[in-house]
Amino acid sequence: MTWVERFNRRVATSPVGRYFQLEFSGHRKERKGSRFFTEIRAGLATFFAMASVNANITSQSGGTCVCNAGPDDPICANDTDYLLCVGVVNRDLVTATAAISALTSFFMGLGANMPIACAPGMGLNAYFAYQVVGFHGSGPVPYSLAVTAVFVEGFIFVALSIFGMRQWLARAIPASIKLATGAGIGLYLALIGLTYSAGIGAVTGATSTPLELAGCIDEYKNADTGMCESHKLRNPTLWIGIFCGGIFTAFLMMYRVKGAIIAGIALVSIISWPRGTEVTYFPYTETGNSNFDFFKKVVAFHPIEKILVAQEWNLSGAGSQFGLALVTFLYVDILDCTGTLYSMAHFANLIDERTQDFEGSAVAYLVDAIGVSIGSLFGCPPVTAYIESGAGISEGGMTGITAMVTGICFFISLFFAPIFASIPPWATGCTLIIVGSMMMKAAADINWAYPGDGIPAFVTIMVMPFTYSIAYGLIAGIITYIVLNVGVWVIKKASGGRIVPYGEEMKDPWTWKIPGGFFPKWVVRASRGDKTFWKSDEIDGESNVDGSARRSGSAGGAEGNKYGEPFAEEKKA
């Protein structure tokens, strides 16, 4: 036994190991295969996959920068002063992202014991930057009103989480849709990894077609559309990302080299930092010089200058804009977070097949909800469970230690902002593609045999990447499922059971009467008049559907056999 294995065993048998249910901890629900050092490595992988993406996307909204250019450049795409201001917003968002991610990820791991980190979510930040506020403020809602709506949304989510509505929604979604959500998020991640803003730049939007092959350098891009007018696939950063970030990482994973994802991101970043090369992240331009000056500081804390507490509470004359932002964030975020949390828990094999819930779900949703409001004060779009957590889970992360390590890394990064603000998007692009490929395996478990399950699942998978939104994919899939299956039910009832679709017996069962009930257990205990309703009545982490504890024979005189089954008296009752 090596010193690493001995140390893993020592941590597992400690109170820390039992709390986080590490293997060999003796906990009845210990998570097989979980190891302390593996959790640390997984947390690092999640951190590196998350480190540079949100600031790049959200800063495209322009934040609080004011565009004073003339009619020839209405969105300040070429205004140097405005772009320098956006550069400061980008650094502000690096600090803001690190701060809120450190806080929420740490408490997600500590409170919910889930290997899921939290940060301003992919998809949500794109929705915030490109559809609500708009590129450089060209959207229908000003930045200050948008973050105000996010702040209010967080408190609404706290109420929904406390009373169990978000948890029930996640459990009530049909099985085929939930499986399809994981696969759809995988494709969505892959698309993010292929784009310019957060990936290797292999695809871009087009006019005659939705997407088009890209991979050209900036001078060959159309200034208005961003399309490559020529020299496609000639951008050296594309190939550095593919071979040093993608193929290299894939080979390491094939040979089960630990830390493969971290190694790929680090290799591409180091190659991209020297100036004067064709793949440098710091070209000799105004913005490149500004970024390099910041990078040279290495150790520095960048205070949030332009977006801290930027809320606008004077809604006179802007009530409709505020309402639009609030309503859209509510329905997009509730489905986005629900789908992401469930899919990540499923990816980590932590879903209870009976209740379709995961342990610590109530705390997980509360941490997410509180993080939404706190994050808005830092100037961030809605905080949610981060889909890049899949990078850590693919490295073997199974407990909350993974998320806590990610949170600690984000806290440390506050003082090394110049380094982490300088990880180029092409360093993380292929990592997202690789993680997406792993998440696609969920599609194999979908019930393709019955169209009432298979077609809604496919719609979910298809719409997520094509609309750049997890929420829209869920909405489309759920509506399709309802229309098809309610239609079949109506026809069956109207015909007296004589007209039924072929293969109906192969349909996945669904009911709204899910084991565990609608309300969380603390509400049930409070309704029974339990004066200590906030305390769980579970023993060794297991309880019946009605909230009564199953007793384990290992609990020093507790009634029950070694499998936690009740004695005959309890069975008769």
Band of residue 261 on the pLDDT scale cut at 50, 70, 90: confident
- Report how far residue 48's alpha carbon sits from residue 246's, in angstroms, rounded to the nearest whole number: 15
What counts of helices (H) and strands (E) characterise the chain?
23, 4
**178-198, pLDDT tens digit by residue?**
889 888 888 988 998 898 877
Give the span between the Cα atoms of 289 and 568, in whole angstroms: 76
Per DSSP, the residues of 144-200 read: HHHHHHHHHHHHHHHHHHHTTHHHHHHHHS-HHHHHHHHHHHHHHHHHHHHSTTTS-
The amino acid at 434:
I
pTM score, two decimals? Answer: 0.73
CA distances from 322 to 66, 140, 325, 336 (A): 20, 10, 5, 20
3-state secondary structure of 547: coil
Which pLDDT value is given to residue 157? 87
Most confident of 129-133, 279-283, 417-421: 279-283
pLDDT at 52 over 60: no
Judged against a pLDDT cut of 90, whether residue 371 lies above it is answered with yes
Q: Which helix or strand (DSSP H or E) is residue 48 part of?
A: helix 36-50
* Model pLDDT, residue 534: 61
Distant-in-sequence, close-in-space partners of 181: CB < 8 Å, separation ≥ 6: 173, 339, 342, 343, 460, 464, 470, 473, 474, 477
SS3 385: strand
What end-to-end distance do the CA atoms of the chain give, in Å? 49
Task: Give the pLDDT band of residue 547 (cuts 50, 70, 90).
Answer: very low
Averaged confidence pLDDT in the chain: 83
Query: pLDDT of 286-328, one tens digit each?
Result: 878 888 988 898 888 888 999 999 888 887 766 777 887 787 7
Taking a C-beta distance cutoff of 8 angstroms, is the pair 193, 432 a contact?
yes
Task: Using the predicted structure, report yes or no on whether residue 20 has a pLDDT greater than 90.
Answer: yes
For residue 547, what are the contacts with CB-CB under 8 A and spacing of at least 6? 521, 524, 525, 537
pLDDT at 550: 38
Q: How many angstroms separate the CA atoms of 224 and 74, rounded?
A: 11
| Distance in angstroms (rounded) separating the CA atoms of residues 519 and 534 | 14
The answer on pLDDT for 123 being more than 70 is no
Lowest mean pLDDT, pick from 41-45, 203-207, 523-527:
523-527
Which of 215-219, 271-275, 416-420 has the weakest average pLDDT? Answer: 416-420
What confidence score (pLDDT) does residue 560 get?
Answer: 40
At 113 the three-state DSSP class reads coil
As a whole number, mean pLDDT of residues 429-453 equals: 89
Please report, for residues 168, 450, 453, the alpha-carbon distance to residue 507 in angstroms, rounded to integers and kept in the order given.
22, 6, 7
Is pLDDT of 235 > 90? Answer: yes
Task: Classify 404 in phi/psi space as left (phi over 0), alpha (psi -120 to 50) or beta.
Answer: alpha
Instruction: Point out the least confidently predicted range of 9-18, 137-146, 451-460.
Output: 137-146
- CA–chain centroid gap for 302, Å, is 25
Cα distance between residue 131 and residue 325, in whole Å: 10
Percent of the chain with pLDDT over 70: 90
Give the least confident one: 120-134, 143-157, 499-513, 554-568: 554-568
The confidence score (pLDDT) of residue 487 equals 96
pLDDT computed for residue 150 by the predictor: 92
Is the predicted pLDDT of residue 167 greater than 90, yes or no? no
Question: What average pLDDT does range 476-491 have in this prediction?
Answer: 95
Q: What is the pLDDT of residue 53?
A: 61
* CB 455, CB 484: distance < 8 Å: yes
* DSSP label of 383: E
Mean pLDDT of 361-389: 88
What pLDDT was estimated at residue 533? 64
**pLDDT band for position 109 (cuts 50, 70, 90):** very high
Q: Which residue has the tokens 């699942």?
A: 457
- Whole-number pLDDT of residue 423: 84
**pLDDT in the model for residue 359:** 80
Q: Which pLDDT score is estimated for 343?
A: 83
pLDDT score recorded for residue 354 = 76
Say if residue 541's pLDDT is above 50.
no
Give the torsion through C-alpha atoms of 43, 20, 549, 356, to 10 deg: 20
Helices (H), 231-360: 236-240, 248-254, 260-272, 286-295, 319-347
Per-residue confidence (pLDDT) for residue 331, from 0 to 100: 73
**203-205 and 211-213 beta bridge pairing:** antiparallel
